[in-house]
């Protein structure tokens, strides 16, 4: 087994064999999750706290289920409603948490780097459940597992990521992961939604969707993050859908067996046509949700093993 | 008459552009005579043996933030003065971006009183160009000059209303006041925490194009052509702004430019994993920009190097990068950091002191910054080679937010003199 980290803060610090380790272990948990009795005790006796400083239903539920299936005591803290509003800083929160002796801390935060900062101040394993526009590592891992199962491999694939790349942590983590695993990554979207310096990421950039989708194996759609828009990135939703919404006509340019992915929640009729999203021959969107639980179980299991292997005084 | 002779010194004379052994005689706080190693040294009441160390005109640092009034826990005139003395800075030119802003003669007089009572080094205050630094109405520039303001600046607030800025420049010109501005297009830079490019995108940080600096400078230069005011750009940090600056100078406008020590010695990659002590304004740039700015200092296109000393307490820095406060303390690290450029072979010592002592003094009409008879004996003696590891807890500033913490630096101040009197000495 290769996985030497004490936190999962992003894809950036992971080496390819470590990514493979997580995915291999996740496969086992996919099997477990399909049994009648969906329970293991890899995290028995450990406390998992989910701290979400930003709205999330799906990711939080996925982490909660993953922890419970592995026997952890799981607690959810809805940080939006709590003391943060009363001026408590992230560091204060970390100090409070330390006193509760959690073992696994799952954090989502609206600011890039906030989870990293928190990890420096707490005595437990931290999992990044999305920080600002920075990274969302478990999403990239579950996408990788979905691709690997659908395509039989996770290398030498042509993968298109489409939509609002600039504001997307999902895109960043996926670009990093798919690049590390030696795939060809294409980014498709209006230039106003491309981050600066993107040409240096080792990707191909297209502003014409049909051209960008030509002969790809995987089409990964992103949510158009309306709540993140400062205003004025695109002229209108309908023009966006016309140029960048995934419909049958555009998808016809991809390989005939290309799969369609979306991290959810979807805006049907904005970035993706409803029929494609529901087409069981093309869409693996439901698989992604299933893989999400398994990948999160694997990641927490590996972190817990490293946690237990640490000398006692480090934890003090 | 009390005379003091500095012997066996390595004289760094930015005016002559020389770096050579010699001696220097001072009398009553003023430089009386300077000689080379071949000239016979005169007799003096007191002799200080520099033991071959460098003797240079004390640093004149434009743009120091002392947090009085408002945030004395971050930096007081006393702590800033001690930090300056330890860093070889003999004149601090203070910023008006306090709370409240220094925008009236009454506030300025309060500050000047505090400064002179508390500090070992010279303090020259700047005042706000517009009331409350809000960019709406100009301050009482005339009264403020009478009260001792040496320049007028809204610091990092850009006067976005071009008409207001034009009138302030026109008015300032009539009084011969120097206006210092922060060249930046605020529409682009608003909310930015990093310079756009691969690094900012990888870290997911809101970023600003380096072009925003050139756009700000272009606008300001156009206004200078209209008004003829004396203008200094506080920080030029990008390659793209340099041709515009060069043209403006060639066209005879009364324009000078500065840069910060951090933009000369660090680049955006130093931020690494969201290290907020490296968050400054404007944000650190790409390495190409840093190289271009060094070249600008070498040729003299960029006139002045400043510390842009900005104290921040731990609470304002221990936040997610986007939310953390900008700025770094630098009075004590200005010289050793600048010496990195000397040790790397980029800039020689006379060039460094031209940018740190001579040019800022000249721009403000001060007599210091030179090793010439008649100039005030504001001097620094330093060992340019002495290595050390920076430990931020040893800083004299009340705030310890230095990006150089834990880094190896070379060059230590041995002694600092203001008007001939020692204000700092290594025991």
| Phi/psi of residue A275, nearest 5 degrees | -65, -35
Q: Measuring CA to CA, which residue among B7, B150, B62 is closest to residue B356?
A: B62
Cβ-based contacts of A233 with chain B (< 8 Å): none
Q: Could you tell me the pLDDT band of residue A315, with boundaries at 50, 70 and 90?
A: very low
User: For all residues of chain B together, what is the average pLDDT?
Assistant: 97
First-to-last CA distance in chain B? 27
- Picking from B197, B315, B319, the nearest residue to A196 by CB comes out as B197
Quote the pLDDT of residue B369.
97
Condensed to tens digits (0 to 9), the pLDDT of residues B352-365 reads: 999 999 999 999 99
Closest chain A C-alpha to B295 CA, distance in angstroms? 25
Q: Is-contact B290 B267, C-beta < 8 A? A: yes
Taking an 8 Å cut-off on Cβ atoms, the answer to whether B318 and A91 are in contact is yes
Mean pLDDT of A165-174: 96
Which helix or strand (DSSP H or E) is residue B8 part of? strand B3-13
Taking an 8 Å cut-off on Cβ atoms, the answer to whether B198 and A134 are in contact is no
Choice between B420 and A78, residue whose per-residue pLDDT is larger: B420
Q: What are A's interface residues with B at a Cβ cutoff of 8 A?
A: 12, 89-91, 109, 111-114, 116-117, 131-135, 169, 172, 195-198, 200-201
- For residue A86, pLDDT beyond 60: no
Q: Is-contact A106 A76, C-beta < 8 A? A: no
- Picking from A111, A116, A197, the nearest residue to B197 by CB comes out as A197
Condensed to tens digits (0 to 9), the pLDDT of residues B363-410 reads: 999 999 999 999 999 999 999 999 999 999 999 999 999 999 999 999
- For residue A146, pLDDT beyond 90: yes
Condensed to tens digits (0 to 9), the pLDDT of residues B281-307 reads: 999 999 999 999 999 999 999 999 999
- Picking from B199, B204, B209, the nearest residue to A132 by CB comes out as B204
Q: Which long-range contacts (CB under 8 A, 24 or more apart) does A199-206 make?
A: A200/B197, A200/B198, A201/A175, A201/B198, A201/B201, A203/A175, A203/A179
Distance, CA of B412 to CA of B330 (rounded, Å)? 14
Least confident of A97-101, B132-136, B137-141: A97-101
Condensed to tens digits (0 to 9), the pLDDT of residues B98-128 reads: 999 999 999 999 998 888 887 899 999 999 9
pTM score, two decimals?
Answer: 0.93
Q: Measuring CA to CA, which residue among B363, B396, B379, B410 is closest to residue B88?
A: B379
Taking an 8 Å cut-off on Cβ atoms, the answer to whether A90 and B200 are in contact is no
Q: Could you tell me the pLDDT band of residue A80, with boundaries at 50, 70 and 90?
A: confident
Quote the pLDDT of residue A75.
95
- Read off the tokens for A134: 């920075």
Q: Could you tell me the pLDDT band of residue A83, with boundaries at 50, 70 and 90?
A: low
Condensed to tens digits (0 to 9), the pLDDT of residues B32-53 reads: 999 999 999 999 999 999 999 9
Cβ-based contacts of B322 with chain A (< 8 Å): 111-113, 132
User: For all residues of chain A together, what is the average pLDDT?
Assistant: 92
Mutate to test the interface with B, among A171, A180, A193, A196 (most CBs of B within 10 A): A196
Where are any strands of DSSP class E within A113-247? 125-131, 158-162, 184-188, 204-206, 218-221
CA atoms within 13 A on the CB side of A68: 12
Taking an 8 Å cut-off on Cβ atoms, the answer to whether A109 and B207 are in contact is no
Q: Would you say the C-alpha torsion A105, A108, A109, A115 has a positive or negative sign? A: positive
Mean pLDDT of A255-260: 97
Nearest CA in chain B to A193: B201
Residue spans per domain, chain B: 57-363
Taking an 8 Å cut-off on Cβ atoms, the answer to whether B201 and A132 are in contact is no
Closest chain A C-alpha to B273 CA, distance in angstroms? 7
Closest chain A C-alpha to B192 CA, distance in angstroms? 13
Taking an 8 Å cut-off on Cβ atoms, the answer to whether B204 and A201 are in contact is no
ipTM comes to 0.89
Condensed to tens digits (0 to 9), the pLDDT of residues A17-67 reads: 999 999 999 999 999 999 999 999 999 999 999 999 988 889 999 999 999
- For residue A316, pLDDT beyond 50: no
Least confident of A149-163, A187-201, B132-146, B204-218: A187-201
Least confident of A2-6, A134-138, A308-312, B420-424: A308-312
Quote the pLDDT of residue A96.
87
Taking an 8 Å cut-off on Cβ atoms, the answer to whether A172 and B273 are in contact is no
Longest CA–CA span in chain B (Å) reads 65
Q: Could you tell me the pLDDT band of residue A97, with boundaries at 50, 70 and 90?
A: confident
Q: What are B's interface residues with A at a Cβ cutoff of 8 A?
A: 196-205, 207, 209, 273-274, 315, 318-323
Mutate to test the interface with B, among A11, A51, A89, A111 (most CBs of B within 10 A): A111
Condensed to tens digits (0 to 9), the pLDDT of residues B215-240 reads: 999 999 999 999 999 999 999 999 99
Indicate the fold that domain B57-363 takes in CATH: TIM Barrel (3.20.20)
Q: Could you tell me the pLDDT band of residue A77, with boundaries at 50, 70 and 90?
A: confident
Quote the pLDDT of residue A228.
53
Taking an 8 Å cut-off on Cβ atoms, the answer to whether A113 and B315 are in contact is no
Q: Measuring CA to CA, which residue among A284, A219, A214 is closest to residue A254?
A: A214
Q: For chain B, give the percent of residues with pLDDT over 70.
A: 100
Distance, CA of A167 to CA of B325 (rounded, Å)? 23
Taking an 8 Å cut-off on Cβ atoms, the answer to whether A116 and B199 are in contact is no
Taking an 8 Å cut-off on Cβ atoms, the answer to whether A111 and B320 are in contact is yes
Taking an 8 Å cut-off on Cβ atoms, the answer to whether A114 and B197 are in contact is no
- For residue A211, pLDDT beyond 90: yes
């Amino acid at each position: 087994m290769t996985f030497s980290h004490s936190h999962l803060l992003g894809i950036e610090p992971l080496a390819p064999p470590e990514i493979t380790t997580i995915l291999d272990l996740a496969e086992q948990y996919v099997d477990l999750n399909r049994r009648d009795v969906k329970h293991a005790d890899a995290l028995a006796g450990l406390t998992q706290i989910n701290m979400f400083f930003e709205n999330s239903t799906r990711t939080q539920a996925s982490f909660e289920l993953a922890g419970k299936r592995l026997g952890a005591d799981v607690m959810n803290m809805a940080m939006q409603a709590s003391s943060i509003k009363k001026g408590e800083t992230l560091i204060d929160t970390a100090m409070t948490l330390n006193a509760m002796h959690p073992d696994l801390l799952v954090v989502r935060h609206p600011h890039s780097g906030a989870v990293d900062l928190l990890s420096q101040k707490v005595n437990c394993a931290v999992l990044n459940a999305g920080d600002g526009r920075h990274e969302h590592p478990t999403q990239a891992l579950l996408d990788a597992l979905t691709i690997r199962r659908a395509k039989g491999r996770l290398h030498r694939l042509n993968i298109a990521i489409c939509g609002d790349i600039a504001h997307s942590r999902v895109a960043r983590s996926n670009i990093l992961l798919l690049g590390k695993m030696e795939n060809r990554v294409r980014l498709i979207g209006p230039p106003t939604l491309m981050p600066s310096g993107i040409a240096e990421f080792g990707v191909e950039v297209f502003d014409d969707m049909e051209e960008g989708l030509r002969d790809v194996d995987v089409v990964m759609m992103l949510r158009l993050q309306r709540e993140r828009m400062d205003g004025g990135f695109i002229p209108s939703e309908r023009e966006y859908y016309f140029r960048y919404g995934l419909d049958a006509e555009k998808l016809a340019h991809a390989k005939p067996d290309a799969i369609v992915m979306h991290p959810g929640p979807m805006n049907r009729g904005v970035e993706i046509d409803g029929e494609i999203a529901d087409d069981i021959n093309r869409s693996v969107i439901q698989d992604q949700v299933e893989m999400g639980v398994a990948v999160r179980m694997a990641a927490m299991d590996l972190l817990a093993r490293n946690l237990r292997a640490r000398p006692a005084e480090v934890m003090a | 008459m009390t005379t003091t002779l500095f012997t066996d010194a390595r004289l760094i004379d930015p005016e002559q552009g020389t770096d050579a052994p010699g001696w220097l005689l001072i009398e009553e706080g003023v430089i009386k005579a300077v000689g080379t190693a071949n000239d016979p040294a005169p007799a003096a009441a007191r002799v200080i043996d520099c033991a071959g160390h460098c003797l240079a005109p004390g640093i004149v640092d434009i743009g120091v933030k002392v947090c009085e009034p408002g945030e004395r826990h971050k930096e007081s005139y006393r702590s800033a003065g001690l930090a300056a003395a330890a860093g070889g800075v003999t004149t601090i030119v203070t910023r008006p971006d306090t709370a409240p802003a220094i925008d009236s003669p009454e506030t300025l007089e309060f500050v000047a009183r505090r400064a002179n009572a508390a500090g070992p080094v010279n303090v020259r205050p700047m005042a706000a160009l517009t009331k409350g630094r809000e960019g709406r109405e100009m301050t009482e520039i005339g009264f403020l000059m009478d009260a001792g303001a040496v320049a007028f600046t809204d610091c990092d607030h850009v006067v976005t209303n071009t008409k207001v800025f034009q009138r302030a420049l026109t008015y300032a010109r009539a009084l011969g006041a120097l206006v210092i501005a922060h060249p930046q297009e605020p529409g682009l830079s608003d909310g930015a925490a990093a310079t756009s490019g691969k690094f900012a995108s990888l870290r997911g940080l809101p970023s600003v194009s380096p072009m925003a600096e050139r756009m700000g400078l272009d606008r300001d230069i156009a206004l200078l052509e209209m008004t003829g005011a004396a203008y200094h750009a506080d920080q030029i940090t990008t390659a793209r702004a340099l041709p515009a600056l060069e043209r403006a100078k060639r066209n005879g406008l009364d324009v000078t430019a500065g840069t910060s020590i951090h933009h000369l010695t660090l680049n955006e990659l130093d931020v690494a994993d969201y290290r907020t002590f490296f968050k400054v304004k404007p944000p650190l740039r790409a390495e190409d920009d840093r190289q271009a700015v060094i070249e600008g200092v070498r040729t003299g296109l960029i006139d002045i190097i400043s510390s842009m000393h900005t104290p921040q307490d731990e609470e304002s820095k221990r936040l997610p990068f986007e939310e953390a406060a900008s700025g770094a303390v630098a009075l004590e690290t200005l010289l050793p950091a600048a010496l990195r450029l000397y040790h790397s072979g980029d800039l020689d010592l006379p060039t460094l002191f031209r940018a740190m002592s001579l040019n800022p003094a000249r721009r403000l009409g001060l007599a210091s910054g030179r090793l010439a008879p008649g100039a005030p004996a504001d001097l620094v003696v330093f060992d340019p080679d002495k290595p050390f590891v920076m430990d931020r807890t040893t800083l004299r500033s009340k705030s310890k937010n230095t990006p150089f913490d834990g880094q190896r630096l070379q060059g230590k101040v041995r002694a600092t003199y203001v008007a001939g009197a020692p204000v700092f000495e290594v025991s």
